[in-house]
Structure formats: structure tokens, C-alpha cells
Amino acid sequence: MPAVAKRADRHTPESLLAVAVDVFNVRGYDGTSMEELAKAAGITKSSIYHHVSGKEELLRLAVTRALDGLFAALDEPGALEGPAVDRFAYVVRRTCLELVRNLPYVTLLLRVRGNTGAERDALERRREFDHRVADLAAAAVADGDLRPDLDPRLTARLVFGLVNSVAEWYRPDGPVTGETVADALGSLVLDGLRPRS
Amino acid sequence: MPAVAKRADRHTPESLLAVAVDVFNVRGYDGTSMEELAKAAGITKSSIYHHVSGKEELLRLAVTRALDGLFAALDEPGALEGPAVDRFAYVVRRTCLELVRNLPYVTLLLRVRGNTGAERDALERRREFDHRVADLAAAAVADGDLRPDLDPRLTARLVFGLVNSVAEWYRPDGPVTGETVADALGSLVLDGLRPRS
């Protein structure tokens, strides 16, 4: 009789996904084995296969959640109604808020490199999101409400780089709220650090 | 007699360091073994020990180079002379330029986590650099040349996050020069995307 007792699988698909996302973020998706996932979840490998078909399905579920949150923001009234510059500002702020609210999932999305089908699909949806926001910025430039002298593609790169960089240091238990970060970031992007006279 | 011929060690300390930085950036410092370094350099492990005391010395040499470049920018006339706002703008632009010019070394520096003495020393110098730039920003706020309504620590986080994010996508053989990126980034940070009337 083996000395090691079988541990019951108390995981829901939801709780298993949360464990997997944390492990992927620490060890990297490529560097994580099913054995390590099972160990982190405190269940057997075969119990994991009871929930999902494998590692790639967990990745797909995780990045889909992150992407669905980002795309949902584009369908909110703030992103649909009013001048393009206000819609652009709304989306920049909301993207930042989505990142801090959904931090492990968005962090994982930002690290996706495209080695698997799930990763390539995620990269394609990220590109679509970037294009939607770049279109908003272009409309605001056409309205005369954003500067025409900055290259729109480079600007989009920088703005998303700024938003994404928040994932590097933001901690939900830290002293700064997500709203504060989103407000400061939106204000920096739209108005810059120099005072407006 | 072994079938594998010994390969001559044609490395200089400089070329060995360049190989090590690339391997660290791909596999992570913690995830890289001396065996992998030797394989990537095309020499034996004992040949590496002929150049350096080990993995940590390679890391120290690499991040020291990145940090020396950043600190050198603080001693240039543009960072020392004139109004604080201009010195701040100069340093932001120069930090961005230093990153693209010294990309593998600065990328490695940005990934340092503090597990070894070399990493902790590097983090301490990074903090010192951040403080020097934050002091410049505070002086510019005191002069009335930067907005007083943004929290200076949060602003510094965002600005450095923006600069560092360039390492995620910038490629030396890409269509955009480092100068173009540094100019656009500096302009975004100082003046924002909204036109100034």
C-alpha cells in the first residue's frame, strides 16, 4: 500500500486556471510541464486532464479572458460615443484599468510569443485591438484633436508600451489604486508633463 | 582517441560577454548553466573559467556596462546645464537612446531580479539612477516648468516604464532609428498627444 495518500481534486476549471496562469507567469509557458502544473495545483496530472485537454487549452482560456476584457472595453459607451479624442482617451484609460484588474491574465497575454496555435491566435487578436485603437487615434488627429506631427504607428507603440509596462511593477496590494494609475497615465499621454498655459 | 576535436578558444572577454548576454536574455540568467554558455560560445567550460570566475561575473560585467552608460549620460552638459526641465528632458531622451544603442545589455539589466550579489548591486545602482532623475523632475516642478498635479513617484514609474518598454519591441535592424524613437518619446512625455494651442 503506497504511503502517499491521494489528494482529492477540489479544483473548479476557474481555480485550476488561476493556478496555471500564476505558474506560467513565473516559469514561462514553454518552461512549464504538466507535472509542474499538477504539483502547483496539488492534484494529479490525470485530474488536470479531467478539466482540460492540456497545457495549451489552459493558455488559450487564460489569454482569451484577457482579450475578451480588452475588447469589451471597446464596446462601452465611452469608446463609442463622442469625439474621437475622448473615445481614444477613454480606451487608453480602460486598457490600463483592465490590465490592473486582470493582472495575471493580461501579464500572460503580454508574454505570448507565438510558438503555438493558441499563442498565434492571441497575437492576432492583440493586433486587431491595436488597430482599433490606432484607428481611433487617427480619427482624433483628423479632427485636429491630437497632434499630427507624431507618427501614429510609433505613437501607438509607445502608448501601449507605457500601458503594458504597468504590469511590470503594479501590485494589487500596493499603495496605488488602479484608478490612480489609469488617471495619471491617461493624463500623461494626452497632456504631457509640461504645464499647459 | 576522442572523435570530437577540441575547438580553439578565439574569444576575447568582450566577445564572450556578448555571447553570454544573448544567452541570458533568451533563457534567463537563472535558467542558464555554464554548460549552455560554453556550448553557445563554442568553447569548453574550462576555457570560460580562463576568462571569468563564472556566470555571476559575466552578469556583473554586463549590467555594469549598461549602468555605466546610463550614469555617463547624467554627467553630460545637457544633463548638468540649463533649466531643470531641459535637463530632465535631455536625460529622458538620452536614457532612451542608451537603451537602443546598448540594447542587449540594458535589456538584461531590466530583467535583473535580485537573487545574487551582482543583481542586488545592479538594482541599487538602478534605484540611484531613478532618484537622480526624480530629483531633476522635482526641481523642474519647483521651477513651475513641470505640472505639480501629478504624483512625482508615480510619474517617474510611468516615464521609466515607457522608456524600458522600448526594449520589448525595438530592433536595431528595424525601420525606425533610435533617434526617432527618443525624439517621439521625449515629445510624448513632455507635451502629450493633445495639440498645444
B190–A193: do the CB atoms touch at under 8 Å? Answer: yes
pLDDT tier at A1 (50, 70, 90 boundaries)? very low
Residues of B in contact with A148 (CB under 8 A): 195
Q: Which pLDDT score, from 0 to 100, does residue B57 have?
A: 95
Fold of A63-191: Tetracycline Repressor; domain 2 (1.10.357)
CA distance A63 to A105: 6
Series of mean pLDDT values for 10-residue runs along chain B (197 residues): 59 92 92 93 92 94 97 97 97 97 96 90 95 94 94 91 95 94 96 89
Residue B112 DSSP label? -
The interface predicted TM-score of the complex, written ipTM, equals 0.86
Residue B104 DSSP label? H
For A101-144, the pLDDT digits (tens) are 999 999 999 988 888 999 999 999 999 999 999 999 999 999 99
Q: Tell me which of A127, A193, A194, A196 to substitute to probe the interface with B (most B C-beta atoms closer than 10 Å).
A: A193
> Per-domain residue ranges for chain A?
13-52, 63-191
Residues of A in contact with B184 (CB under 8 A): 150-151, 154-155, 158
| Facing residue for B146 by CB, picked from A151, A157, A193 | A193
For A50-109, the pLDDT digits (tens) are 999 999 999 999 999 999 999 999 999 999 999 999 999 999 999 999 999 999 999 999
For A155-178, the pLDDT digits (tens) are 989 999 999 999 999 999 999 999
Q: What CATH architecture applies to the domain A13-52?
A: Orthogonal Bundle (1.10)
CA distance B181 to A7: 54
A164–B168: do the CB atoms touch at under 8 Å? Answer: yes
Q: How many CB atoms lie within 10 A of CB A45?
A: 15
Is A26 within 8 Å of A85 (Cβ atoms)? Answer: no
CA distance A169 to A188: 18
B165–A176: do the CB atoms touch at under 8 Å? Answer: no
B158–A188: do the CB atoms touch at under 8 Å? Answer: yes
Q: Which pLDDT score, from 0 to 100, does residue B1 have?
A: 47
Q: What is the CATH number of domain B59-191?
A: 1.10.357.10
Find all residues with CB under 8 Å of A51, minimum gap 6, and list them. A11, A13, A16
For residue A32, give the nearest of A108, A95, A99, A85 by alpha carbon.
Answer: A108
3-state helix vs strand vs coil in chain B, percent to 5: 70, 0, 30
The yes-or-no answer to whether B13-52 and B59-191 have a common fold is no
pLDDT tier at A13 (50, 70, 90 boundaries)? confident
Is B27 within 8 Å of B61 (Cβ atoms)? Answer: no
A146: cell is: 491630437
CA distance A74 to A92: 10
* pLDDT above 70: residue A3: no
Q: Which pLDDT score, from 0 to 100, does residue B140 have?
A: 95
User: For residue B186, what is the nearest residue in chain A, using CA coordinates?
Assistant: A192
CA distances from A7 to A4, A120, A153, B147 (A): 9, 36, 52, 58
Containing H/E element for A170? none
